[in-house]
Structures are given as C-alpha cells and as structure tokens.
Amino acid sequence: MNLKIIPYFIFMVLLQSFLTDSSHNQLNTADNWIQLFNGKDLNDWTVKIKGHPAGENFKNTFRAVEGVLQMNYDEYDTFGTSYGHIFYKEEFSNYKLRAQYRFIGEQVKDGQVWARKNSGVMIHSQSPESMGLNQDFPVSVEVQLLGGLGTEDRQTANVCTPGTHIVINNELVTTHCTNSTSKTFHGNEWVNLEILVMNDSIITHKINGEIVMAYYKPQIGGTIEIDKKTWESKEGNPLKKGFISLQSESHPIEFRNIELLELH
C-alpha cells in the first residue's frame, strides 16, 4: 500500500490515534497489558495444523523455549502442506497487540518458495475448533510477516485476507495481499510489531513505531473451500471480533513479549 490515502481516511486514523492515546492514557501501564505468552509453556494456546485435529501439536512444531515461542521444524523430514497456527484462548475486539519477532535458521525441505521467511499474525480469526481438518488457513485477517532474502525489498506487516476482504481508500480490496510501506529486514534481528484493532472499523500495523499499513471494514468474503456454503452465506458480514493466532508456514520463526491491551 502506498500512502496516497484520501484526506478523510488520514483524518480518521489521526483521530483514532488521538482518542486512543488520550482517552486510554490511564490504561497504558504495565499492569493493564496482558501477557499472552508466559515464556514457559503453551497452556493458554491451542494448536491447529492442517491434517490434524485442534489441540495436536504435530511434530512439536510450536514450542516454548527460553522465553520465546518458536515455530520449529527440526522433527520434519519434509513440510508438505502442514500449515499451522497457534491460537490464544480468548477472543478480542478492541485492542493493541505488541510482539517482537525474528526469522531464524533455514526453511524446512520442500517448503514453498513464497513461504521462505514468511509467517503471520492472524486477527479477527475463527476458532481452531471450527476449522476443517484439512483447512490451510483460518478465516481471518493476516498481518503478514516477511523477512528480506538478502537483496530486493520485501516489506513486512503487509495485510492478507484468507476468506475476508478489507477497505482501503473507500474501495473494497479483494486481492489476497497488499504490501505495507515498511523497511526490509534481511537479517535475524528482532522486529517490533504493534497492531491496533478497533472492532470492524480501523486497523493499523506498526513496525518499530511507524504506521506502515492502515485499512478498515474487515468483512467475510472470498473463496473458502471448506464449508463453502456456510461462508458464502456470510459474505459481507463485518468482522467485529475474533481469535489471535501465530502462523507456521515452513520457515523457523520466534516470537517474544507477546502482550495485549484491551481498549474499551
């Protein structure tokens, strides 16, 4: 996404930022941020990997290791299509989500080319229990995380829309992914991510403190092969709340300091 955004939308983003910073200033203390990951175990999280029922952590893909949440593939011979997600136990609607992430190591054998240094944070997501056994990705809005591959620009904190649509510049966006304006991070440095989610209105992505993506009106839309009739009947319904999940797509990644501030 470039920043040729209509003045009304710029105004709405700035207004929302002002209201959040001022009206909730008294909430922005360490005591009010919920630590979603305790650094020790995955007790508050549920794993769902394609081809396996919710709750089965196939090949120990998701791990709590020395204070970080890892997506690790050292028990895999090949990846195939074992796309996975780990879901926090509660739904949220209005909040700020903060985390740090970094890509490490090498992609597992036979992972897709596009999945190299590729992961994501899914917001407004369906529950892991409601996903089909062989469903690749939950119906959600994805904050796509990409690492640089050494040469060309490769933005991070993009937006992708599995089973959903969004609005940018007063236009319904039906393409699957839209790039942010972020810098490229080629190494294995920790990157600071912050997501502002305001129900079914404004959503913004920040990288290292800078807004790099903004959109609004997340809604059901697009092709879902699993339970297709049900999702088609919900086409256009606004996404007002949902689960948060972290993605495994064949390249090792680590997350730490995963915390959330509810906004009321």
Tokens 């001022």 found at: 22
| Confidence band for 224, pLDDT divided at 50, 70 and 90 | confident
- pLDDT for res 29: 57
Indicate whether 2 pLDDT > 70.
no
pLDDT digits (tens, 9 = 90+) for 29-76: 557 999 999 999 999 999 999 999 999 999 999 999 999 999 999 999
pTM: predicted TM-score of the whole model, two decimal places: 0.90
- pLDDT for res 23: 46
| Confidence band for 8, pLDDT divided at 50, 70 and 90 | very low
Structural domains in the chain, CATH included, are 7-262 (2.60.120.560)
Q: For residues 55 and 57, give the distance between their C-alpha atoms in angstroms, rounded to a whole number.
A: 6
Q: How many CB atoms lie within 10 A of CB 128?
A: 21
Q: Are 261 and 130 in contact (CB under 8 A)?
A: no
Mean pLDDT, range 80-95, rounded to an integer: 98
pLDDT digits (tens, 9 = 90+) for 166-223: 999 999 999 999 999 999 999 999 999 999 999 999 999 999 999 999 999 999 998 7
Q: For residues 36 and 44, give the distance between their C-alpha atoms in angstroms, rounded to a whole number.
A: 8
Q: For residues 112 and 62, give the distance between their C-alpha atoms in angstroms, rounded to a whole number.
A: 19
Question: Residue 203 forms beta bridges with which residues?
Answer: 197, 215
